[in-house]
Amino acid sequence: MLITFFRSIVLYIIVLIVMRLMGKREIGQLQPFELAISIMIADLASIPMTEVGIPIFNGIVPILGLLVMHLLISLLNLKSLKAREIICGKPSILVYRGKIDEKILKKERFTINELQERLRGNGVVNLGDVEYAILETSGQVTVIQKPEKRNTIPEDFNIQPEYEGIPYDLVIDGKIMYKNLNSIGKNYAWLKKQVEKFNVKPEEALVVTIDGKGQIFCQRKENMNK
DSSP for the chain, please give it: -HHHHHHHHHHHHHHHHHHHHT----GGG--HHHHHHHHHHHHHHHHHHH-TTS-THHHHHHHHHHHHHHHHHHHHHHH-HHHHHHHH---EEEEETTEE-HHHHHHTT--HHHHHHHHHHTT---GGGEEEEEE-TTS-EEEEE-GGGSPP-GGGGT--PPP----EEEEETTEE-HHHHHHTT--HHHHHHHHGGGT--GGGEEEEEE-TT--EEEEE-HHHH-
**Domain identity same for 11 and 48:** yes
Query: What is the pLDDT at residue 207?
Result: 94
Query: What is the pLDDT at residue 225?
Result: 53
- With cut-offs at 50, 70 and 90, classify the pLDDT of residue 10: confident
pLDDT, tens digit (0-9, with 9 covering 90-100), for 60-90: 888 888 888 888 888 888 888 788 878 778 8
Q: Which of 70, 86, 102 is the last residue of a domain?
A: 86
Note whether residue 109 is domain-resident.
yes
Query: What is the pLDDT at residue 16?
Result: 76
Query: What is the pLDDT at residue 195?
Result: 95
Q: Which of 56, 86, 116 is the last residue of a domain?
A: 86
pTM of the prediction?
A: 0.63
In the chain, how many domains are there?
Answer: 3
pLDDT, tens digit (0-9, with 9 covering 90-100), for 46-61: 877 777 777 888 888 8
CATH of the domain at 121: 3.30.240.20
Note whether residue 106 is domain-resident.
yes
Q: What is the mean pLDDT of residues 124-150?
A: 89
**Domain identity same for 132 and 71:** no
Query: What is the pLDDT at residue 135?
Result: 92
Note whether residue 43 is domain-resident.
yes
**Domain identity same for 7 and 65:** yes
- With cut-offs at 50, 70 and 90, classify the pLDDT of residue 144: very high
**Domain identity same for 6 and 81:** yes
Note whether residue 156 is domain-resident.
no
Query: What is the pLDDT at residue 28?
Result: 57
**Domain identity same for 201 and 186:** yes
Higher-pLDDT residue of 181 and 8 is: 181
**Domain identity same for 109 and 45:** no
Q: Which domain holds residue 118?
A: 92-149
Quick check: 29 pLDDT over 70? no
Q: Which of 45, 61, 86 is the last residue of a domain?
A: 86
Query: What is the pLDDT at residue 217?
Result: 95
**Domain identity same for 78 and 28:** yes
Supply the mean pLDDT for the chain: 85
Query: What is the pLDDT at residue 50?
Result: 73
- With cut-offs at 50, 70 and 90, classify the pLDDT of residue 25: low
